[in-house]
Amino acid sequence: MMDMTIRPRRLRGCDSLRHMVRETRMSPDSLIYPIFVDEQLTGRRPIDALEGQYHYGLDSVCGAVRECVEAGVGRCILFGLPAKKDASGSSAWDRKGVVQQAIRAIKKEFPDFYVITDVCMCEYTDHGHCGALCGHEVDNDKTLELLSRTALSHVEAGADMVAPSDMMDGRVAAIRAVLDKNGHQNTPIMSYSAKYASAFYGPFREAAGSAPSFGDRKGYQMDPHNRKEAVKECALDVEEGVDILMVKPALSYLDIIRECSDAFDLPMCAYSVSGEYAMTKAAAAAGLIDEYRVMCESAVSIFRAGADILITYYAKELSQAMRKGDIG
């Protein structure tokens, strides 16, 4: 027998011990569930590109929230599919817009449920880009006014937090100034700080009806090759007064999550995007993987990389896994 005093396996001997010495801790409080609300829909409709996910009408959005609450998830992020689109995306800040109506409905039935809203123009413009156009380019500075109006309309409808996802320069400062001017100094901003021009967004664009009608979004979303740029983007958001940082996507950008989490003393959110979810579903349907175990392991890896918060289509299932003690 070898004379070894240091034996790491001692701490792997049983479930109780393994749970006690876990380095990465998670709870359902760290989960956010995406909800898609369609202004023209009654009831709910399956999203073909995202198995198990749905579009909800204004009459059924509270049912989606009720399912979250029953699963132990107390937070959502709302995405709207408006009845009308135009060049400027004016439905985005309409007091009677789809997201604004959804917020009021949720808050009436579930006043303590935490509602975050995605702030972008792509679902509302008839061209599908994330802001006002100047020719075939997105006009950064003109878009800041539209984003600020949209964020303010969400907060005035009752949103607890706004999350700009557009990747315009200066958007956090612009939104912060408008919210503060209108008496909403205590409303937090969670910015999509490092949002990459990723191929993993495909199913979401079908779900949100937000694919661009021409070109792509590489002129404002980040190049997947770049790491230092993510730190720069986060630093700018911090200077502008952001409250929570975000990296999107998650699984292919764990290095970015770790680096930005280490660099800044703010909560770090990661968005496990539609393509990540769809790949897991497809592989499970083909019998290639154990969906539950892969779902759990993927989430653990994101938190282990440095995320404090996770936006995920598996939020309800992960909450149950945490409650059972399988992870967390």
Given the residues 85, 108, 142, 195, the one annotated as active site: 195
DSSP 8-state secondary structure symbol assigned to residue 223: P
- Spans of all domains in the chain: 25-324
pLDDT reported for residue 209: 67
Query: To which H or E segment does residue 309 belong?
Result: strand 309-311
Rounded-to-integer distance, Cα 130 and Cα 195, Å? 13
Q: How many CA atoms lie within 13 A of 190 on its CB side?
A: 25
Per-10-residue mean pLDDT for the chain, 328 residues long? Answer: 86 92 94 97 96 97 98 98 91 96 98 97 86 82 95 98 95 97 97 96 76 72 96 98 98 98 97 97 98 98 98 98 94
Rounded-to-integer distance, Cα 66 and Cα 89, Å? 30
Residue identified by tokens 């770049």 is 226
Rounded-to-integer distance, Cα 17 and Cα 59, Å? 47
The yes-or-no answer on residue 195 being catalytic is yes
pLDDT reported for residue 217: 75
Rounded-to-integer distance, Cα 228 and Cα 215, Å? 26
DSSP 8-state secondary structure symbol assigned to residue 91: G
pLDDT reported for residue 320: 98
The yes-or-no answer on residue 248 being catalytic is yes
φ/ψ of residue 227, rounded to 5: -105, -50
Q: Which architecture, in CATH terms, is 25-324? A: Alpha-Beta Barrel (3.20)
Given the residues 85, 248, 281, 316, the one annotated as active site: 248
User: What's the angle, vertex CA 176, arms to CA 90 and CA 150, rounded to 5?
Assistant: 15
DSSP 8-state secondary structure symbol assigned to residue 141: H
Rounded-to-integer distance, Cα 229 and Cα 194, Å? 8
